[in-house]
Chain A
């Protein structure tokens, strides 16, 4: 199975900060990379698909980049509603796998 490793596992940031989360795949996955946001007690929500395509309705402060093995989710200006856990997920192989998650907390 392809292993997805996110870094950092958690971070503390302030409203207005630029936040970057990294996801690394154990082998090349082209752009078959999706980002989700999960708030406590809620189901995950789709943010970015195809590594860089913004899902309809998602604020433009979210962006994704990367291809191959290294991917990045960036929040350009962190808002109060963005404090959550973020997961990457690969769909390159027939066994889909998620990263372990990155928890974004309030500083």
Chain B
């Protein structure tokens, strides 16, 4: 299971920080990447990026300049930091486990419930 946590309100120009806690299994076991996806209210899904246990990351180019993903397998957590936020970053943020097949990252098989982050002064 995955659970997002973090502030629900962030001021414009500040940094949005979220953590996803993974329970029910070890993050150190190979075969999975750990992902973030967001959904603006009433809109579709946008892939943010994913990270492996080793710290290797893949970012959506549209967010790359503002985005940092990190992982702490000892705490079974991974985190997202998005800097210089604007109202356009208001969204439900989901964390998800991401399956690899023969080393190829493929799909999200388990999702957190999501957390709404509002960017407003």
- List of B residues within 8 angstroms of A36 by Cβ: 45, 108
Tell me if B106 and A87 are in contact (CB < 8 A): no
Closest B residue to A34 by beta carbon equals: B107
Tell me if A101 and B112 are in contact (CB < 8 A): no
> In the complex, which residues 50-107 of chain A have their Cβ closer than 8 Å to any Cβ of chain B?
50, 55, 87, 89, 91, 94-101
Give the residue among A34, A49, A96 with the most B Cβ atoms within 10 A: A96
Tell me if A32 and B94 are in contact (CB < 8 A): no
Closest B residue to A44 by beta carbon equals: B111
Known: A94-B58, A97-B47. A43 touches B105 (CB 8 A): no
Tell me if A95 and B61 are in contact (CB < 8 A): yes
Known: A94-B58, A95-B61. A46 touches B46 (CB 8 A): no
State the Cβ distance, A58 to closest chain B Cβ, in Å: 11
Q: Which A residues have a C-beta under 8 Å from some C-beta of B?
A: 32, 34, 36, 42-46, 49-50, 55, 87, 89, 91, 94-101
Closest 5 CB pairs of A and B: A43-B111, A34-B107, A96-B47, A98-B45, A49-B107
Q: Which B residues have a C-beta under 8 Å from some C-beta of A?
A: 44-47, 58, 60-61, 94, 99, 101, 104-114
